[in-house]
Amino acid sequence: MKLSGKVAFVTGGSRGIGAGIVERFIADGAKVAFTYAGSREKAEALAAKFPGQALAVHGDVTDEKSVAKAVAQTLASFGKLDIVVNNAGFGEFKPVWELTLADFDRIMNINVRGVFTTIMHTLPHLKSGGRIINISSCNADRIPFANGGIYAASKSALQGMVQGFARDLGPKGITINNLQPGPVDTDLNPKEGAFAEQLHSLMAIPRHASAAEVAGFASYLASEESAFVTGANLMIDGGFSA
């Protein structure tokens, strides 16, 4: 129960990696508020599994007022905030000649601006020992296939953000890190999907990760065990970047 007594706020927690993190944090003793944008039924079903420990709140990371409201609901229900997980994200995969400014703006608004917006509204409530974890991607470091340019750019942007913010937050006793998964078995990227074989051919461990494996790493970063880890871009990618 290494997260006993902690309160976490997870964006995009209704499914996939986010849902895995919600379940792992609760198993490790935390109370967790998590946001959903469009998956209300899945979010409410997940929260119902953990009465008194999980709270599903509507939150769109591209809408500052929505984020502020979700944070306020978390504080009203659980009274404090110790851990922030920026999990909400979006992928756009097209060749550069098909991309539009609308495509660029959408992915940057969710994957970069949304992270900053969430940090901006949660940081005032974090005390020494606080943790900020961004669920990024191994594509921040390596993009060995076509059509992923702006997705990779959005995840690379988080590297500079985290390294810079770590300098600001370290003296306050707050850590901030990027967790960079490779392929993870989710609805959006299933282990038997059309691109699975191509992805596995690039990896030292030729398979998708489970959401639970990523969640285990996130739990470590949320715990006291990781107090000396900050400003890091940490791979959990089966050797995709090796």
Q: Active-site residue numbers?
A: 151
Count the helices and strands in the chain (H runs, E runs).
8, 7
2 within 8 A of 77, measured Cβ to Cβ: no
Provide the β-strand partners of residue 33: 9, 55
Return the exposure string of 108-118: e unless at least 16 CB atoms fall within 10 Å of the residue's CB, then b. Answer: bbbbbbbbebb
Q: What secondary structure letter does DSSP report for 67?
A: H
**How far, in Å, are 26, 48, 56 from residue 51 at the CA level?**
11, 6, 11
Q: What secondary structure letter does DSSP report for 9?
A: E
Taken in order 238, 25, 129, 135, the sign of the CA dihedral is positive
Phi, psi of 169 (to 5 degrees): -90, -25
Taken in order 169, 62, 218, 238, the sign of the CA dihedral is negative
Q: How far apart are the first and last CA of the chain?
A: 33
CB atoms within 10 A of CB 242: 11
